Amino acid sequence: MAKKSAQVQSVRDAFRVLPESFDLAGLDPAAAPVGPKSKAEAAADMVEVGAQLDDLQEALYAEGTGGGRRSVLLVLQGMDTSGKGGTIRHVAGLVNPQGLHIASFKKPTAAERRHDFLWRIRRQVPAPGMIGVFDRSHYEEVLIARVDGLVPAAEWRRRYELINEFESELVGSGVTVVKCFLHISPERQKERLVARLEDPAKRWKYNPHDIEVRAKFSQYRSAYQDALVKCATPVAPWFAIPSDRKWYRNWAVARVLLETLQEVAPVYPEPSYDPLVELARLREADPLR
Amino acid sequence: MAKKSAQVQSVRDAFRVLPESFDLAGLDPAAAPVGPKSKAEAAADMVEVGAQLDDLQEALYAEGTGGGRRSVLLVLQGMDTSGKGGTIRHVAGLVNPQGLHIASFKKPTAAERRHDFLWRIRRQVPAPGMIGVFDRSHYEEVLIARVDGLVPAAEWRRRYELINEFESELVGSGVTVVKCFLHISPERQKERLVARLEDPAKRWKYNPHDIEVRAKFSQYRSAYQDALVKCATPVAPWFAIPSDRKWYRNWAVARVLLETLQEVAPVYPEPSYDPLVELARLREADPLR
């Protein structure tokens, strides 16, 4: 895998949010700065990515069973229809589900709201050996909370720093944090909302409130701009993924996750027993031979 | 799908544990009473099974978001190396991981042991809309607990009835329970233990204690015989899956799960809104059009 790292590294760099220059409004949601030029090319690469992800996930899981403390957390954020669910299906779906911990953060319940805003998030941090996936996250607390004025401005303004401290603490405890913003255009969102309404098997994904949220597309863009810039830290980077084309989005997130795992470089634990002794026990002293 | 139910039904029936006649010692772990005759045939059918499972799982999940109360629980039991983990990877891996709730039951912790033996199990019952998978389960309480004499005989003997009551309660609350025993021969188990020891990437799966457990293969067989016969109820059936060949085991569990979901026949919820009104709102009054 080492020989591929130069090529692979460039995928993450192509999408990395650089706080000093990042401009969400100027970012093309249909861009393809790197990687496959067609759905077929992407599909072919996904086979390779899937095999590598699967291997690395198994090693991470094994490392965890051997006392390793490391895990990976993939945070997914994006407007309605940007494809958080589809990304989970097609990217997280590439690895053994036993090594996944998926958490969806809906509107906080009354019980959750009585706690600090990070309380319910902390409870879902992936255990050692696991790949955690957050479908929405603590970032909602500087997105909808800001756009809908759910808390005073002084409160959400304070949260960027609290989030950075929280993520830094996670990283310190062995969690590799990788955050992907799925960037979709308002035009593509409209197409997808229409598609949801036209297909009886997709209507459950639609909520009339989606139109109210959509009306605030530009306010959300501002809120995302700030969240990404203020919380794209060296230890917990943000990646802005062009998501108007589903196949490109899936490919990009998969490659970003793969690179992350390659950097983590999980290792199979050394056995706490002597394999040769055990082979001899099994072969020569096996009670059932 | 209805047109396939006759063929499909026969898969479950081929593996169903019939309490009056079931004899585990006489069951061939390499049998193939139904279905594919080769790995290639199985792989071809798995593509079809996967597509259908994926569709049904999505409908179940959608039903749950619409207020439906139903879920499915797949219980996996079997001796070491029988392939509980592999089945999760290859069967549960066929559906969207977001709709899965996988729980592995290891040796109970001291805290868990202070509770009733079903306490930790209840906490992992799949929520509405989910497919739950148990990697080991409450059945350990009549298997290892019996074989190793962890509790008095009077205690484990009482548990069959408690388990049946528990499962009947689950079924009453909307959980469809499907239990698969992965049946492996001692010879194949030995091969797989040797393979784990010989491959550095598989050594983490091996524990020297596995040989002690293996020495009790026939006691476990008796314990399984009783557990399967006493707890194969009409509402929560057991299926004995020949598991000496991994591809056959995966195919069989996948087909059993598929049939179960076909019987559940989840339905997409009726929208709580008028799709035509929403389409008009989106097309004509869309603030972002």
pLDDT at residue A3 greater than cutoff 80? no
Closest CA to A59 of B100, B89, B103, B205: B205
How many Cβ contacts (< 8 angstroms) between chains A and B?
Answer: 132
The pLDDT, as a whole number, for residue B9 is 52
The pLDDT, as a whole number, for residue B1 is 39
User: Which pLDDT band holds residue A10 (cuts at 50, 70, 90)?
Assistant: confident
Closest CA to A277 of B206, B217, B79: B206
Which residues on chain A are in Cβ contact (under 8 Å) with B204?
A: 62, 65-66, 268-269, 271
- DSSP structure class, residue B127: P
- Tens of pLDDT, residue by residue over B149-158, are 999 999 999 9
Task: Supply the DSSP string of B208-244, one letter for each residue.
Answer: THHHHHHTTHHHHHHHHHHHHHHH--SSS-EEEEE-S
- Tens of pLDDT, residue by residue over B243-268, are 999 999 999 999 999 999 999 999 99
**Contact status, residue A170 vs residue A155, Cβ threshold 8 Å:** no
Angle separating helix axes A275-284 and B186-198, nearest 10 degrees: 160
- For residue B57 the two structure tokens come to 């799982």
- Ordered by where they begin, the domains of chain B are 2-284 (3.40.50.300)
- Identify each DSSP E strand in chain A by its residue range: 71-78, 100-104, 131-135, 175-183, 238-242
Coil, helix or strand at residue A268: coil
User: Which pLDDT band holds residue B10 (cuts at 50, 70, 90)?
Assistant: confident
- For residue A229 the two structure tokens come to 């810039």
Q: How far apart are the first and last CA of chain A?
A: 40
Averaged pLDDT for residues A161-182: 98
User: Which pLDDT band holds residue B8 (cuts at 50, 70, 90)?
Assistant: very low
**Are A89 and B98 within 8 A, CB to CB?**
yes
Contacts of A146 (CB under 8 A, 6+ apart): A153, A156, A223
Averaged pLDDT for residues B8-18: 87
- Tens of pLDDT, residue by residue over B126-165, are 999 999 999 999 999 999 999 999 999 999 999 999 999 9
With b for 16 or more beta-carbon neighbours within 10 A and e for fewer, the B36-58 pattern comes to beeeeebeeebeebbebbbebbb
**Are B214 and A288 within 8 A, CB to CB?**
yes
Partner residue facing B215 (CB), from A98, A197, A287:
A287
| Residue of chain B nearest A266, judged by CA positions | B201
Closest CA to A244 of A28, A24, A17: A28
With b for 16 or more beta-carbon neighbours within 10 A and e for fewer, the A172-192 pattern comes to eeebbbbbbbbbbbbebbbeb
Distance CA B238, CA B15 (A): 8
pLDDT at residue A250 greater than cutoff 50? yes
pLDDT at residue A259 greater than cutoff 90? yes
The whole-angstrom distance between B6's CA and the closest CA on chain A is 26
Distance CA B61, CA B127 (A): 10
| Residue of chain B nearest A64, judged by CA positions | B204
| Residue of chain A nearest B212, judged by CA positions | A287
Closest CA to A55 of B129, B202, B192: B202
The pLDDT, as a whole number, for residue B287 is 64
Partner residue facing B193 (CB), from A89, A190, A282:
A282
Strands A238-242 and A175-183: parallel
**Are B204 and A62 within 8 A, CB to CB?**
yes
- For residue B185 the two structure tokens come to 């021969």
Q: How far apart are the first and last CA of chain B?
A: 40
| Residue of chain A nearest B267, judged by CA positions | A201
pLDDT at residue B48 greater than cutoff 70? yes
Query: Residue A260 pairs with which residues in a beta bridge?
Result: none
Distance CA A249, CA A241 (A): 6
Which residues on chain A are in Cβ contact (under 8 Å) with B96?
A: 88-89, 93
Averaged pLDDT for residues A23-47: 97
The pLDDT, as a whole number, for residue A2 is 42
pLDDT at residue A103 greater than cutoff 60? yes
- Tens of pLDDT, residue by residue over B61-80, are 999 999 999 999 999 999 99
Q: What are the backbone dihedrals phi and psi of residue B129, each rounded to the nearest 5 degrees, phi first?
A: 90, -10
**Contact status, residue A118 vs residue A166, Cβ threshold 8 Å:** yes
- Tens of pLDDT, residue by residue over A57-82, are 999 999 999 999 999 999 999 999 99
The pLDDT, as a whole number, for residue B217 is 95
**Are A186 and B288 within 8 A, CB to CB?**
yes
- Tens of pLDDT, residue by residue over B165-208, are 999 999 999 999 999 999 999 999 999 999 999 999 999 999 99
How many Cβ atoms sit within 10 Å of the Cβ of residue B13? 12
- For residue A112 the two structure tokens come to 């959750």
| Residue of chain A nearest B65, judged by CA positions | A204
Sign for the pseudo-dihedral over CA of B3, B6, B12, B18: positive
Strands A175-183 and A131-135: unpaired
- Tens of pLDDT, residue by residue over B223-236, are 999 999 999 999 99
- Tens of pLDDT, residue by residue over B86-127, are 999 999 999 999 999 999 999 999 999 999 999 999 999 999
pLDDT at residue B36 greater than cutoff 90? yes
User: Which pLDDT band holds residue A287 (cuts at 50, 70, 90)?
Assistant: low
The pLDDT, as a whole number, for residue A8 is 45
- Long-range residue pairs from B141-146, CB within 8 A, at least 24 positions apart, any chain: B141/B117, B142/B223, B142/B226, B142/B227, B143/B77, B143/B220, B143/B223, B143/B224, B143/B227, B146/B223
Closest CA to A251 of A85, A30, A44: A44
The pLDDT, as a whole number, for residue A4 is 46
Which residues on chain B are in Cβ contact (under 8 Å) with A136?
A: none
The whole-angstrom distance between A139's CA and the closest CA on chain B is 20
The pLDDT, as a whole number, for residue A288 is 67
Burial class (CB in 10 A: 0-12, 13-18, 19+), B15: buried
- Percent of chain A at pLDDT exceeding 90: 94
Task: Supply the DSSP string of A14-47, one letter for each residue.
Answer: HHB--TTT--GGG--TT---SS-SSHHHHHHHHH
* Average of per-residue pLDDT values in chain B: 95
